[in-house]
Structure 1
Amino acid sequence: MRIVIVGGGVLGTMHAWWAIERGHQVVHLEREAEARGASVRNFGLVWVSGRLDGPDVETALRARELWEGIGAAVPGVGFRPAGSLTICRTEAEVEVAEGALREASAGVRGLRLLSRADARALNPALGGEFLAALHCERDAAVESRVALPALRAHMARSGRYTWLPGREVRDVATGSVRDDHGDTHEADQVVLATGAWLGGLVRELAPSLPIRKVRLQMAQTAPLDQPLTTAVADGDSFRYYPFFRSEGLTEPQAPIAAEHKMQLLMVQRLDGGLTIGDTHEYEHPFGFDVVEPPYDHLTEVASAILGRPLPRIVRRWAGVYAQCLDPKAVLHRSQPLPGVWLVTGPGGRGMTGSPAMAEQTAEEAGW
């Protein structure tokens, strides 16, 4: 088949990956010179630990397996099976972690509760004071800003992959896609994976999507002078991720964290810098600027966990992703036209789940 993919983010790229893997021809269109949305503004985490039981965690676990294979085939994606530690600094947070261990899926997630000493043995950079840490062996990371070019270069070597950046799609019909250069690309199947870009053509094809947008703030520091051997989360992550039963966290969040719906996530980049975040903003219209108090809070919490000052922040940014309104929905997948697939709304799980999400599309589409 000849398959046209619209959208150069991780979800679109993984659909191209599966089409190439199954022997098809792919034309891949992206309106920017390079993907600039949520796919390159995230942590690069493959995050199994907090996903909801059922299709959510099943998708994450399958994607984790696929990422490991992709990382072996394409080392440039920077796959690292590092796991994660969620730091418990209060007795209530320890109780939530202990409750997670009693869930039936704790074993397949690779969960165990570590003492502070054992957590520090696993991740010596954690020099701060805390009571315990929930270890998730199945969590991992990829290098989000370099993964997509590495995947495209690998696919190009097949001779069946054509990357066309700087092309905004003007019209989609069964069997063809027309871009703003006036070129028409014939297709047996079309996949629209345009991320949080839900206006224009997408609105014309699907005017009432069950999707909302979410904006977040993140940052990257200068290199830490020692390895951060796992990803790190704080106890506020228990409030955010749906797997954890956080009703026991009766103590309110810090005011800034509550106002901006925050958790701390922290992962080390290949250059040694730390990506930290994040906030959650749901009300439209979003602000166009980033605000400083959340960064002050993230710096304070991260420094307390590390037991030392956080390296200086060298980059700050905001990102927007599309999220299904149904909290149990992993992805919105529909056919607005015969042979045309619209895939969107993975929420904060796009980098985590995209290999498995695209595999599911390939199965449904008969690739």
Structure 2
Amino acid sequence: MRVLIVGGGVLGTMHAWQALSRGHDVIQLEREPEARGASVRNFGLVWVSGRSEGAELATALRARELWERLGAEVPALGFRPAGSLTVLRTDAELAVAEAFAASAAAAQRGTTLLDPEQARLRNPALRGDFLAALWCDKDGAVEPRTAQPALRQHLQATGRYTWLPGREVRELTADGVRDDHGQRHEADLVLLCIGAQLGGLAREVAGELPLRRVRLQMMQTEPLGADFPTAVADADSLRYYPAYAGPALDALRANQPQAAVAAEHAMQLLVVQRRDGGLTIGDTHGYEEPFPFDTEEAPYEYLREVTESLLGQALPPIRRRWAGVYAQSRTGEIVHRARLTDRAWVIAGPGGRGMTCSPAIAETTALEAGL
């Protein structure tokens, strides 16, 4: 078959990989010269630990397997089985972690509860004070700014993959698409991986999608000057991820309110080290549109303070700050996937799990579309 993919983000690129691996020819169109959305504006985390039971966890675990396989085939993806530490600093946070660690859910995720000394064996950079940490050995990381170009280069080596950036699709035709250069591209199957672009062509061919857009803020430091081998989260992630729900979390919410700035911006701390030694730190969640066009400093200052308290030292200077927008399903689906015509599908809205789950989402699309 000839498969045409609209969208150059991580979801579209993983669909290209799945189609090629099944023996098909692929054309991938992207409206920008490079993917510029959430696919490159994230942590690059393959985050299994907090996923909800059932389909979401199964998808994340399958995606983790696929990321590792891809990382072996394409070392430039920068995949590493880093694991993660969720650091606990109060008795109420520790109670949530203890309840989770004693459950069957923890074993599914390779999660155990460590004391501070054990946690520092995993990540010696954590020199600040804390009571304990949840260790998840299923979590991993890739390099988000370079992973997709590296994967595309790998795909191009097959001789059956064509990358066409700077092409905005204007029309879904009976036998493919027409782009804004007036060129028609014929295909047996069209996969619209539209990212956060919910208007325009997407609305025209798919209607009002059951998705919402979410805005985030993040930053990256200069090199730390030390190894930071695991990803790190603070206990606000217990409030954010569904795996930790239960009476202990209810008690935490009732008796230990979030810091005001963290609550205002729906924040959790996530930290991961980049290949150059810098730390990517975030993030915030904004749900009300229109989104502001500028970034706010208060969340950055809060993230800096919490990170420095865990490191027991000052952070290096901040190299860059940025905001991004991604689409998220409103229905609780892992992703919105719908057949539009006999030969066209739309796949969008994985939310903050897009980088984590995209290989498995693409695999499921391939099965459902008969690739």
Does TM, normalized by the shorter one, top 0.5?
yes
Q: Give identity over the alignment, percent.
A: 63
Specify the SS of the correspondent of 1:286: coil
Q: Which residue of 2 aligns with 1:295?
A: 300
Say whether the 8 Å CA contact 1:174–1:338 is kept in structure 2.
Answer: no
Say whether the 8 Å CA contact 1:175–1:188 is kept in structure 2.
Answer: yes
Q: Which residue of 2 aligns with 1:55?
A: 55
Q: Which residue of 2 aligns with 1:355?
A: 359
1:247 aligns with 2:250: yes
Q: Which residue of 1 aligns with 2:117?
A: 117
1:322 aligns with 2:327: yes
Give the C-alpha shift of residue 354 in structure 1: 0.2
For the residues of structure 2 that align with 1:173 and 1:183, how far apart are their CA atoms?
12
Alignment of 1:6-25 (within 5 A): 6-25=6-25
Q: Which residue of 2 aligns with 1:135?
A: 135
Instruction: Give, as a single letter, the amino acid of the residue that structure 2 aligns with 1:356.
Output: A
For the residues of structure 1 that align with 2:355 and 2:112, how far apart are their CA atoms?
24
Runs of 4+ in 1 over 6 A off after TM superposition: none
Give the C-alpha shift of residue 210 in structure 1: 0.9
Instruction: Give, as a single letter, the amino acid of the residue that structure 2 aligns with 1:227.
Output: D
Q: Greater shift after overlay, 39-48 or 248-257? A: 248-257
Instruction: Give, as a single letter, the amino acid of the residue that structure 1 aligns with 2:349.
Output: G
Give the C-alpha shift of residue 134 in structure 1: 0.2
Give the C-alpha shift of residue 247 in structure 1: 1.4
For the residues of structure 1 that align with 2:162 and 2:76, how far apart are their CA atoms?
19
Q: Which residue of 2 aligns with 1:106?
A: 106
Instruction: Give, as a single letter, the amino acid of the residue that structure 2 aligns with 1:268.
Output: Q
For the residues of structure 2 that align with 1:186 and 1:334, how far apart are their CA atoms?
20
Q: Which residue of 2 aligns with 1:265?
A: 270
For the residues of structure 2 that align with 1:183 and 1:8, how far apart are their CA atoms?
18
Deviations 1:308-360 (A, max 9, x none): 01111110000000000123x11100012221110001000000000000000
1:366 aligns with 2:367: no
Instruction: Give, as a single letter, the amino acid of the residue that structure 2 aligns with 1:366.
Output: G
Specify the SS of the correspondent of 1:293: helix
Give the C-alpha shift of residue 205 in structure 1: 1.2
Give the C-alpha shift of residue 207 in structure 1: 1.7
Say whether the 8 Å CA contact 1:222–1:314 is kept in structure 2.
Answer: yes
Q: Which residue of 2 aligns with 1:183?
A: 183
1:313 aligns with 2:318: yes
Give the C-alpha shift of residue 206 in structure 1: 1.7
Specify the SS of the correspondent of 1:296: helix
Q: State the Cα RMSD in Å.
A: 0.7
Give the C-alpha shift of residue 103 in structure 1: 2.9
Deviations 1:24-53 (A, max 9, x none): 000000000000000000000000000000
For the residues of structure 1 that align with 2:260 and 2:328, how far apart are their CA atoms?
25
For the residues of structure 2 that align with 1:142 and 1:198, how far apart are their CA atoms?
27
Deviations 1:45-84 (A, max 9, x none): 0000000000001000000000000000000000010100
Compute the TM-score of the two structures, normalised by the length of structure 1: 0.99
Unaligned regions of 5+ residues in structure 1, if any? Answer: none
For the residues of structure 1 that align with 2:10 and 2:242, how far apart are their CA atoms?
23
For the residues of structure 1 that align with 2:365 and 2:175, how far apart are their CA atoms?
18
Q: Greater shift after overlay, 190-199 or 99-108? A: 99-108
Give the C-alpha shift of residue 99 in structure 1: 1.5
For the residues of structure 2 that align with 1:142 and 1:238, how far apart are their CA atoms?
23
Instruction: Give, as a single letter, the amino acid of the residue that structure 2 aligns with 1:308.
Output: Q
The count of residues paired between Structure 1 and Structure 2 equals 366
Unaligned regions of 5+ residues in structure 2, if any? Answer: none
For the residues of structure 1 that align with 2:101 and 2:238, how far apart are their CA atoms?
13
For the residues of structure 2 that align with 1:17 and 1:175, how far apart are their CA atoms?
22
Specify the SS of the correspondent of 1:336: strand
For the residues of structure 2 that align with 1:96 and 1:325, how far apart are their CA atoms?
27
Say whether the 8 Å CA contact 1:171–1:178 is kept in structure 2.
Answer: yes
Give the C-alpha shift of residue 266 in structure 1: 0.2
Compute the TM-score of the two structures, normalised by the length of structure 2: 0.98
For the residues of structure 2 that align with 1:5 and 1:210, how far apart are their CA atoms?
21
For the residues of structure 2 that align with 1:241 and 1:94, how far apart are their CA atoms?
16
